[in-house]
A = this chain, B = another copy of it.
Amino acid sequence: KAGWTELDVRAVDTVRVLAADAVQKVGNGHPGTAMSLAPAAYLLYQNVMRHDPSDSHWLGRDRFVLSCGHSSLTQYIQLYLSGYGLELDDLKALRTWGSLTPGHPEVHHTNGVEITTGPLGSGLAAAVGMAMAQRRQRGLFDPDAKAGTSPFDHHVWVLASDGDIMEGVTHEASALAGHQELGNLTVIYDQNTISIEDKTEISFSEDVAARYEAYGWNTVTIDWRGDGSSGGYVENIDQLFTALERSRTSRKPTLVVLRTIIAWPAPTKQDTGKSHGSALGDAEIAATKELLGFDPKKSFEVPRSLLTHTRKVVARGKAAHKAWDKGYAAWRKAEPERAALLDRLVAGKLPDGLDKAVPTFAADAKGIATRAASGKVLGALADVAPELWGGSADLAESNNTTMEGQPSFIPKSKQTREWSGGPYGRTLHFGIREFGMGMILNGIALDGLTRPYGGTFLVFSDYMRPSVRLAAIQQAPVTFVWTHDSIGLGEDGPTHQPIEHLAALRAIPSFDVVRPADANETGAAWLTILRNRRPAGLALSRQNLPIVDRSGANGAGKVSGVAKGAYVLYDSSKATPDVILVATGSEVQLAVEARETLEKAGIATRVVSMPCREWFEEQTPAYREKVLPAAVKARVSVEAGVPQGWRDIVGDAGEIIGIDHFGASADAATLFREFGFTAAAVVAAAKKSLKTVKGK
């Protein structure tokens, strides 16, 4: 039993009227769910979750994910009542410029918020990643402790809505959560059957509990609605409490289907679409307050005594933390090496000698694919950087995402003839679920200690795009490994050939798109990505790419230039080049070949390899000028993608070699030739650009 007193009931009712008041004050927002979920949220923060409001980064804390992020008040008001630092004025500033209470919860912005949510489905799907991260971390630090006895045991709690449940991404992540037997994950699904188009029955009639059982979840249905009439509505807290407590020790993830009436108990707007996303209006709020025994003339009224009561959770949290500290100290003493690793990860530092671990690839005209180089880099980093782990959405061999010899992260019973492993394994198998993978990677990164990566074909970055955006918004250090990065993938044809994807991904703010030109650039790219600790995507070739001779013999630029985003790979024979060829990835070799022809024709030609435009933009103006002198207007860019965005680099007099239509099904060599990616085309473009410059 939760053991609620009248004061707790009053606190919950206070949450309801605060939610209504806050939305009313700003004039827009989502009051309904915050009102009806008030008891569940209060129960979580006051009675269920292990957390310490005085230390929101406590390693042992449970995680809370508000998947229905539009109901941000559900979380903000609990953070206020629990003493996380939010005060009444913050609630009054809801959804206004500069406030701590934006429309949707934002991690790194409001203390106590673990994850940015709002796009439906994203929270629940990322929570699956958090639960996976917990298990992996447990395996890294304390694999032998009995269940529930380790300082690294934490639980992930999710509040989700009808919208979350309808979205495809939660299907993907939930199927995987069931498969992975994530007993450390509990989802309260607020089945209020109301969305923006009013009753969800207009588009939604599936049996959700049966679906989750089909995934291998435990499900519990708790029906507060009763017969659906107002009179029948009973918020049975103890029943919910029991279900949540039981879920804590389950060996499967748990879905609690909680049937509520949205905006309960607003007299006329409960159970309506309007109460989901609009202010209730003064009259309705007054009526609600009267119903609950509040003064209808007062707003934002919270007696000190009530706050004193709810903030007792601080003391309880501190006590729990203290108790945990004991076990943690014992663990540190017993496990000095693991403790050292933990300290490094908590500090966000990379291991010493990481750069030395990255393999060097000898010059080779035939070369290897950058995806293959990436696989070798990952393998070489495996022992040095245990925080690094990942896998693929069913393309392990194609994406080269498996660190050789590392076990799969999988329940023992689900090993297959090809893959062995266990619950603490390292190689992830996402199935054919790219979007779920992206959100799970975000959740892993947000859980805080490890560095996840995940692979698919570049063209399918589209499937996971909302997760890439959320990685960027949250600056979650996820590495997306996107192979088969151009028409160079060949025969699979237009549906599988990325054309617009490099441009489309570069368009995402605060996200790094990295397209190395050879094996050594690939190693340098990985190193830089790990150092930057930001979300990044690697675009890697399916086909072999020649490995540039970096011995210094032929004047090739050092691979350390990769970290600067662009660098002079081969300079021109004259101090100031006549023309600059800028290329990325697999097209750099075309620029190199064209340079030889141009130089022979007496045209001083510089080749710039530009693996990451975002990194280059961060360099000093002096460095950028050194690489791309403003005075040299004759320029050509070469990239097997849409021209969009390259005008900024080549300028009015420049030429852009790209592809602005879909690809075709044929071998790669034919496609490059037919679509105009040849050294001859680069030479012609260089001459055209020189002519344009002279013509001015």
Question: Which residues of A does B touch, CB under 8 Å?
Answer: 26, 28-29, 69-70, 95-99, 102-104, 106, 116-120, 162-163, 166-172, 175-176, 178-179, 195-208, 210-211, 213-216, 273, 392, 394-398, 408, 410, 414-419, 429-433, 435-436, 459-460, 462-463, 465-466, 469-470, 472-473, 490-496, 499-500, 503-504, 506-510, 642, 644-645, 647-648, 651-652, 660-662, 664-667, 670-671, 674
**Closest approach, in angstroms, between the C-beta of A646 and any C-beta of chain B?**
9
Copies in the complex: 2
**Which residue of chain B has the shortest Cβ distance to A470 in the bound complex?**
B495
A172 to B436, CA, bound (A): 14
A449 to B118, CA, bound (A): 37
**Closest approach, in angstroms, between the C-beta of A82 and any C-beta of chain B?**
22
**Which residue of chain B has the shortest Cβ distance to A411 in the bound complex?**
B205
**Which residue of chain B has the shortest Cβ distance to A117 in the bound complex?**
B495
Question: Provided the pairs A214-B206, A496-B118 are in contact, do residues A199 and B417 lie with their beta carbons within 8 angstroms?
Answer: yes
**Closest approach, in angstroms, between the C-beta of A252 and any C-beta of chain B?**
12
Q: Are B205 and A214 in contact (CB under 8 A)?
A: no
Contact of A179 among B106, B204, B645 (CB under 8 A): B204
6 additional contacts, CB 8 Å, given A103-B492, A503-B644?
A95-B491, A102-B664, A103-B496, A104-B496, A168-B435, A463-B466
Residue numbers in B under 8 Å from A175 (CB-CB)? 166, 204, 206
Question: Provided the pairs A104-B496, A104-B665, A118-B493 are in contact, do residues A166 and B433 lie with their beta carbons within 8 angstroms?
Answer: yes
Among the interface residues A168, A416, A418, A492, which one has the most CB atoms of the partner chain B within 10 A? Answer: A168
Residue numbers in B under 8 Å from A120 (CB-CB)? 432
Q: Are A206 and B199 in contact (CB under 8 A)?
A: no
Q: Are A495 and B118 in contact (CB under 8 A)?
A: yes
| 17 A-B pairs (CB sep. < 8 Å) | A95-B666, A97-B667, A98-B666, A102-B493, A103-B496, A103-B665, A104-B493, A116-B494, A167-B463, A168-B436, A179-B206, A197-B394, A197-B396, A197-B419, A198-B419, A203-B431, A503-B644
Q: Are A491 and B28 in contact (CB under 8 A)?
A: yes
Residue numbers in B under 8 Å from A660 (CB-CB)? 509
Among the interface residues A166, A200, A396, A670, which one has the most CB atoms of the partner chain B within 10 A? Answer: A166
**Which residue of chain B has the shortest Cβ distance to A397 in the bound complex?**
B196
A462 to B203, CA, bound (A): 22
Q: Are A416 and B168 in contact (CB under 8 A)?
A: no
Among the interface residues A104, A273, A432, which one has the most CB atoms of the partner chain B within 10 A? Answer: A432
Question: Provided the pairs A196-B396, A647-B647, A662-B473 are in contact, do residues A203 and B429 lie with their beta carbons within 8 angstroms?
Answer: yes
Question: Provided the pairs A103-B491, A104-B496, A492-B103 are in contact, do residues A416 and B199 lie with their beta carbons within 8 angstroms?
Answer: yes
**Which residue of chain B has the shortest Cβ distance to A643 in the bound complex?**
B648
A432 to B435, CA, bound (A): 16
Question: Provided the pairs A204-B175, A208-B214, A645-B645 are in contact, do residues A432 and B198 lie with their beta carbons within 8 angstroms?
Answer: no
Contact of A504 among B95, B211, B491, B504 (CB under 8 A): B504
Q: Are A410 and B202 in contact (CB under 8 A)?
A: yes
Question: Provided the pairs A469-B462, A500-B509 are in contact, do residues A116 and B495 lie with their beta carbons within 8 angstroms?
Answer: yes
Question: Provided the pairs A210-B213, A495-B470, A500-B508 are in contact, do residues A169 and B166 lie with their beta carbons within 8 angstroms?
Answer: no
In the A-B complex, the 6 residue pairs with the smallest Cβ-Cβ separation, listed nearest first, are A168-B168, A102-B665, A203-B431, A97-B666, A118-B495, A171-B171
